Chain A
Amino acid sequence: MKVLTLNFLTCAVKACKSSSDSFPLHPKDAELVHDDVEVNAQLLTNLLHRLDWKALRTTATELGFPDLPETAPTQEDLENDEKTLKDLHNLLIETQMMEGKLVCGHCGHEYAVREGIANFLLPTHLV
């Protein structure tokens, strides 16, 4: 599961959806792997406006990556600055969470991640 995907996941418990604490989910005991993937500058540039940058900063820090700048790079930044593009590509596309848990900051529920697959099925008492 790519770090990019973590930017689009929240708690599956209905009551948590309205709480800002439920997003992003917090990785715990995360085992990361790095895959070499060819840079797709167009996809990254086009996806920029879909990212929640604040959440991504939180996720990056929690996964032990260097702090991201406070504001998201612009499309022009990515087009003109190869390092920014490569760093983002490395974090969002090439870094995969294979094992561990994703924890909701609101209800505290922990979703297991095994072999790169997060399981959001809820126990009966949380449905």
Chain B
Amino acid sequence: MSSPTPAHQPQPQSDPALYESLNVHNVYSQIAPHFSQTRHKPWPLVSNFLLSQPPGSLGLDIGCGNGKYLDVNPAVYLLGSDRSPELIRLALEEGADRKSAVDGSKARGREVCVADGLALPFPAGRADFVISVAVVHHFSTRERRVEAVRRLLECVRGGGKVLVYVWALEQGSSRRGWDEGMEQDQLVPWVMRRNQPKKNKDRDRKEVEGEEGKEEKTFQRYYHLYRKGELEEDVVSAGGTVVDSGFERDNWWTVATRP
């Protein structure tokens, strides 16, 4: 086994969109199948939010990844979008034979598309609710994070609710060891084991021999770790109103509405 690669702190960037393209989008493209294998269990608070929506509601899951939330409540019409074409393909493929995580009923077929969080293809004010789980923390400047929240708020009708989840800085009990007062912008390693040993031709990436001839490859993803109260500040800056918020499993979450 190789020792985990320590997190690096990113340097200030002159082109945040390019930076995210290299340190978020490209990484998800390469780790998509492995990432997806580890992301099947819906978080209870998100599931409860989805199940609390009236039948026939129109919902959006912005940054749906492999689509694990799309089948939770078969009584609502939930559209998913993600920046990663690879994850969207997986969401569609897995949706074809998955059953609802809640009641075991057969999934209705998933409705997903590829879209950037800052250029969403959804008409303003049509959705009854929006969820965006573990997405906004991938934008690398505050301006872009606030803009991302603003785009989520624009999608819902007046009174419609937006649930946002972001990774917390305060997670002293987790193995990552981040906590209050530490650097909030981090490159977080994703270690992927490959079954087929392959010559390393890419010198930019760290690649080490694992046990039994297997290779491990480490990718660095950019995160902005939210401190307590920061998500609410971003919601207010985006023109929203916080109706509920809290901490769950090393994440800050908030439910917001727009006027």
Give me the interface of A with B, judged by CB distance under 8 Å: 1-2, 4-5, 8-14, 17, 23, 35, 37, 40, 42-43, 45-50, 52, 111, 115-122, 127
Contact = CB atoms under 8 A, between A and B. Distances in A.
Given A2-B111, A42-B55, A118-B113, A12 B77 contact: no
Given A37-B109, A117-B89, A12 B55 contact: no
B32 interface: no
Contacts of A40: 108
Contact of A120 (B17, B56, B121, B127): B121
- Which 9 A-B pairs rank lowest in CB-CB distance, beginning with the nearest? A46-B56, A120-B115, A120-B121, A12-B119, A118-B113, A119-B114, A12-B121, A10-B123, A50-B58
Contacts, number: 99
B109 A35 contact: yes
Nearest to A46: B56
B55 A43 contact: yes
A1 B92 CA distance: 10
Contacts of B56: 42-43, 45-50
Interface residues on B, range: 20 to 34
A1 B119 contact: no
Contacts of B115: 12, 120-121
A10 B122 contact: yes
Q: Label chain A's interface by main secondary structure.
A: loop
Nearest to A22: B123
Contact of B122 (A4, A9, A48): A9
A49 B121 CA distance: 21
A47 B114 contact: no
Contacts of B113: 1, 5, 9, 117-120
A117 to B, nearest CB: 6
Contact of B116 (A46, A48, A50, A121): A121
A45 B56 CA distance: 8
Interface string B91-115: 0100000000000000011011111
Contacts of A13: 119
B123 A4 contact: no
14 contacts: A8-B122, A9-B123, A12-B119, A12-B121, A13-B119, A42-B56, A43-B56, A43-B75, A46-B57, A47-B58, A47-B77, A48-B56, A111-B121, A127-B116
A8 B123 contact: yes
A117 B67 CA distance: 14
Contact of B119 (A37, A42, A122): A122
